[in-house]
Amino acid sequence: MRNELRPSHAELRSASELVKSLVQINSVNPPGNELAAVELLAWHASNEGFTPAIEGPDPNRPNLICRLPAEEANRRHRPLILNCHLDTVPVDDPDRWQHGPFSGHEENGYIWGRGTIDMKGFAAMAFTAISLLKRRHFPINRDVIFAAVADEEAGTKLGSRWLVENRPELLGSKPEYVINEVGGFTVHRNGKRFYPVQVAEKGIAWLRMTAEGTPGHSSLPPTDSSVATLIEAAHRISRAQLPWHPSPEAAVHIAGFAAPEGEIAQKLAGLLGNRLIGPGLLRRVVKDPNRRAATEAILRNTATPTRFQTAEVINALPAKASVDIDGRLAPGQSAEMLIRELQKVIGPRLTRNISFEIKEKSPPTSFSTDTELYRKIEAALKDRDPDGHVVPSIIPGFTDSHNYARLGATCYGFYPLQLPEGLDFAALFHGDNERLPVAGFHWGLTTLMQMLGDFLSAE
């Protein structure tokens, strides 16, 4: 690698210390309270000679942006954004954690705490990266922007979405690339190591399903009450196997994991995308229910009833009852298409008394792998783990990337992290005992610097 960008031992150490400090700031969303984390980063940023912008619609929940401009003579391309969010998901039960979720406790090579993986770890990594580029006076070929945003876990309204809609100039107006979360970590499977790099995300269709029926006293229950209709419809939806929607994005993801497993595995992987035999085949070849659910989620829409609004009191039936449905869209799908699928699932009898309203929607996003940045990411991962397999992946959730896509940016999930065997990314992400292997984090920061060195010096 370009030696001048290799982080020193002290720099690696101070990056992992920054992870701890960020984890010790409770920024569970709701309510968020990202301000203290922003102030900590602003203090570090000023020490590095940046003039951070702190902006947002809620003064207690701002976003922080630092820009490292390229020299005029070297600026040949549109900006690169290194994005992180500073809020985290809540902690269900701290008693289930081995070390406190806001302790930042380090023991036996791990830092413990909510946000180490999602994604204060990358906040520290990306901030260190832009600081090292500045400290070393590295001749970058484009502006590099560090964005630490609020409110990702609750839908991005105060964070990346607000920035994109209100202050795009802080994001370089037309950034070319964004490096973001959910990719770059090690997945161990059958003795092999894979590195998914996220290039696609499912879309969102947050729906409200409302049932209408005869209101009345619940001591004399009418058979067609709104609540009875709603429950029956919600039950059908939660049991439904929605249609298969194979996409090129899902095919590349599945083929990538099958590639080193031999010809039979590759053939089977190809057949999974077949609408007729795919669903049955998946049940037969993937026995682990979590892995099967993860594969299904990228091949179909999902619709999960979550929040019910029914009667105010125990003894009366309202004329209307509703439930919110968290719908996620496979590539090529829309909220309207999902509603038609759900109407089919609940059948014509119930559909007569049921209506759907779209509360929020965002289309699926996908980005080409035929780019300079993707090639550099792939090369850096292969160089740092020659036996690893790099796989362009699609995730069932969404990240800030779907907002940046609106500015025309190509976004990849790349938070490089070497995870030891037995440490499963999916279990850590939003899970109990979220923790970060320090050596794997230092490996990741060095990998990121190597990649940035190559990418930012290219013609």
CB of 201 to Zn ion, least distance (A): 12
118 binds Zn ion (CB under 5 A): yes
Two tokens, residue 111: 């830092």
Neighbours of 133 (CB within 10 A): 20
18 binds Zn ion (CB under 5 A): no
Residue number with CB closer to Zn ion (204 or 338):
204
409 binds Zn ion (CB under 5 A): no
119 binds Zn ion (CB under 5 A): yes
Indicate the Cα dihedral angle 155, 291, 118, 252, nearest 10°.
-80
Distance CA 378, CA 391 (A): 9
CB of 398 to Zn ion, least distance (A): 10
Residue closest to Zn ion when measured from CB atoms: 118
- Binding pattern to Zn ion, positions 207-236, x when CB under 5 A? ------------------------------
Give the orientation angle of helix 335-351 with respect to helix 226-239, to 10 degrees.
Answer: 130
Q: Are 148 and 84 within 8 A, CB to CB?
A: yes
Two tokens, residue 224: 């067609």
Reduced to 3 states (helix: H, G, I; strand: E, B; else coil), residue 164 is: helix
Residue number with CB closer to Zn ion (448 or 456):
448
CB of 78 to Zn ion, least distance (A): 25
Q: Which stretch binds Zn ion (CB under 5 A): 12-20, 117-125, 209-217, 408-416?
A: 117-125
With 0-12 / 13-18 / 19 or more C-beta atoms within 10 angstroms meaning exposed / middle / buried, residue 367 is buried
Q: Which stretch binds Zn ion (CB under 5 A): 175-183, 217-225, 287-295, 342-350?
A: 175-183
Residue number with CB closer to Zn ion (119 or 237):
119
Distance CA 165, CA 145 (A): 17
341 binds Zn ion (CB under 5 A): no
- Please compute Rg for the chain using Cα positions: 23
176 binds Zn ion (CB under 5 A): no
Distance CA 423, CA 185 (A): 11
Q: Which stretch binds Zn ion (CB under 5 A): 48-56, 92-100, 178-186, 305-313?
A: 178-186
Residue number with CB closer to Zn ion (34 or 181):
181
428 binds Zn ion (CB under 5 A): no
Q: Are 8 and 438 within 8 A, CB to CB?
A: no
Which residues contribute to the site for Zn ion (CB under 5 A)? 118-119, 181
